[in-house]
Amino acid sequence: MSYDLVWFKRDLRWQDHAALAQAAQHGPVRCIYVVEPELWLQPDAALQHFEFVRESLQALDDALRLQGGCVEVHTGELPDVLSRIWSEAPFRQLHAHQETGNGFTYARDLRVGAWCQAHNVGWHEYPQFGVVRVLKNRNLWQPAWERHMAEPVQDVGELRFWRQRASRNETPTEVRSAWCTPSQMQAPEHLQHNPPMRQRGGRHLALDTLHSFLHARSLGYRGGISSPLSAPDACSRLSAYLAWGCISMREVVQHTRAHIAQLPPQASRHRAGLTAFISRLYWHCHFIQKLESEPAIEWQNMHRGYDGLREHDFNEAHFEALKAARTGWPMVDACVTMLRETGWLNFRMRAMLVSVAAYPLWLHWRPVGEWLATQFLDYEPGIHWSQLQMQSGTTGINTTRVYNPIKQAQDHDPHGRFVRQWLPALRQVPDTWLFEPWLMPHTMQTHLGVFVGGDMNSALPQPVVDLAQATREAKQLLHSRRQTDEVKAAKKAVVDKHASRKNWGKRPSARRTSVATPTDKQQLGFDF
């Protein structure tokens, strides 16, 4: 008896899973995940991603085993793995989700398609988010997003699994020698960075997180997501589960809208918070759509008129100071430390990190983006690279947003609780100098036994550059480039292809028509 093959990638769930549901309609299914060595060698991969995937696969495997199935974990490059499986037991069709990933997965999926065509195997890919493959007109995007989110959540139902029979000369162990279970997965030795306080993977944890957000934590969403003190509870914390597919975007949207509908009239703050959350779910897919429509923005400026702006001035010492949490600006260094320990940071602080990298430190977004991709457990390529360029001013269509890390600290950590939590060396420093410790009198430094110096042995580093002067020079360089005729002339093409439309984030009505606006006016984040 033949079967259909379901290939899990970044869709590690068993409900509202179009590939699994469609495959099940044709008969027995066989479920695989493939550990691709080349994928995990990419510069945006980290050990925390691998472990989160392993945990999520374990939950998926547990669920499928309740129905008599499992997830086979194969190791190798696609389509070599497909050839091996095919040679052992040919399958009729291959099902997977449409992945808007990095350049490696884009090229890999093309090779898989060619393999299927060569072997006369049906190759079916299904949308994962409200992202449209081969989108011809941005004005058509919001209706498509709404249609996708309005479709019923698919209950995969009862599954029949394909079973491999051992030949007369094989033992059961030999039959399954080509694959292992999720619990047997071994992380590639080169992978690094697994924050001790990161979120754990798995669908049950995703559902628990959604429930706690809708019923309790979202009360603090409005006014609570900007400060790094309140954001860990006020934000949904669903970003990692959406990025790795433990829960579907459609499930999140429908549960949120249903919860809004049943709130009492007096729950205006709660309703407003969840409405703002829905808006950010639109923006999640909006940014992924940019990479889907133009994969090259992973490597090159969205607006090519900014080519050469920073590429030749990259300062390795500045970059190392940023990665080591030694910029000298306490809010920046505290954020880097929290990110290193938890794998998560709220959107405003992420934007501040990129802004500091792009302006006063004058670092090109690509190396910074590779490093941050490994730090973010919820790394989603489409959002990540679009936002790196937006915050770095290379899209050509967004307002220049420069975050002053001292003001951010004063606004969102006025009593220094966050900074003191993540930078123990500053715990005894009085509030007066907490966010600018380099201004602390030497007598006070002596009294506290904490010295601000310019070498790595100092408890507190001097700022790597003069913040005001470096920021002013960076903005002048960017704005002078923006005023050139070449940059102005090429702006319209970027707007037509990538810019948001005026009514995005609002529910469509019969009377409303799409109206294009020249720029994305919202300052958006990496997380929601």
- Please state the residue numbers annotated as binding site: 221, 277
User: H or E segment at 6?
Assistant: strand 4-8
Residue 174 to residue 243: CA distance in whole angstroms: 35
- The answer to whether 13 touches 248, Cβ cutoff 8 Å, is yes
CA 197 to centroid of chain Cα atoms: 18
With a CB cutoff of 8 Å and minimum separation 6, the contacts of 121 are 86, 91, 92, 93, 94, 115
Provide φ and ψ at 67, rounded to 5°. -105, 10
Q: In Å, how far are 67, 352, 392, 408 from 355, measured between CA atoms?
A: 50, 5, 6, 12
Using DSSP's 3-state secondary structure scheme, residue 274 falls into helix
User: What are the binding residues for FAD?
Assistant: 221, 277
Q: Is 75 exposed, middle or buried (0-12, 13-18, 19+ CB in 10 A)?
A: middle
- The two structure tokens encoding residue 516: 């294009």
Residue 507 to residue 284: CA distance in whole angstroms: 16
How many other C-beta atoms can be found within 10 angstroms of the C-beta atom of residue 293?
Answer: 20
Residue 53 to residue 182: CA distance in whole angstroms: 9
User: H or E segment at 437?
Assistant: none
Q: Is 354 exposed, middle or buried (0-12, 13-18, 19+ CB in 10 A)?
A: buried
User: Cα angle at 354 between 352 and 359, to 5 degrees?
Assistant: 95
